[in-house]
Amino acid sequence: MRTPSDAKRPSGAPRRIHNTDLGGRATRSIGDEAMSRADRKTNHAIVSLIGDLKEQSRSTGTAIWRDIAGRLESSRKNWAEPNLSHISRHSEKKETILVPGKVLGSGSLSGGQTVAAFSFSEGAKSKIEASGGRTMSIRQLMEENPKGKGVRILV
């Protein structure tokens, strides 16, 4: 069925949505090209890591890597940023902890945990290593432990 706005445009031209239709200010066109949404992430390292996590999940049948990929796809303001004191309270000695975000250095850590995260503050990295623990990237953990056995996600 043709609408009044369709009568004004040539055949095959994309339909335009006006600000009254969207409730916003901009006018955008609806066409196959215009509707495909660009990737939300622009950091190539994050996009590559997310793709590798999804591939690892598909190849091993392990849900942990898909879960981490989903968490990293969300807005960075929603990423986990636990302090060392939070990690210490919620983990056992010699446990492997995975943080889908950034580990901050407030507090102390005891027990020699292995902590994998997207990034670490300088203070957190030095305190973890001083306590006998180990820091690693999410990619390193994925390569060392492809099945994700014995890994606790801390958010």
Calculated CA dihedral for residues 82, 86, 88, 91, nearest 10 degrees: -80
CA distances from 106 to 88, 132, 154 (A): 11, 17, 16
pLDDT digits (tens, 9 = 90+) for 48-58: 999 999 999 99
**9 pLDDT more than 90:** no
- Specify burial of residue 128 (Cβ count, 10 A radius: 0-12, 13-18, 19+): buried
11-20, 37-46, 51-60, 67-76: which range is least confident on average? 11-20
**24 pLDDT more than 70:** no
Q: Please state the domain extents for the chain.
A: 45-153
pLDDT digits (tens, 9 = 90+) for 71-112: 999 999 999 999 999 999 999 999 999 999 999 999 999 889
Please state which architecture CATH assigns to domain 45-153: Ribosomal Protein L15; Chain: K; domain 2 (3.100)
pLDDT at 32: 46
Calculate ∠ Cα 124-137-87, nearest 5°: 40
Calculate ∠ Cα 134-140-143, nearest 5°: 130
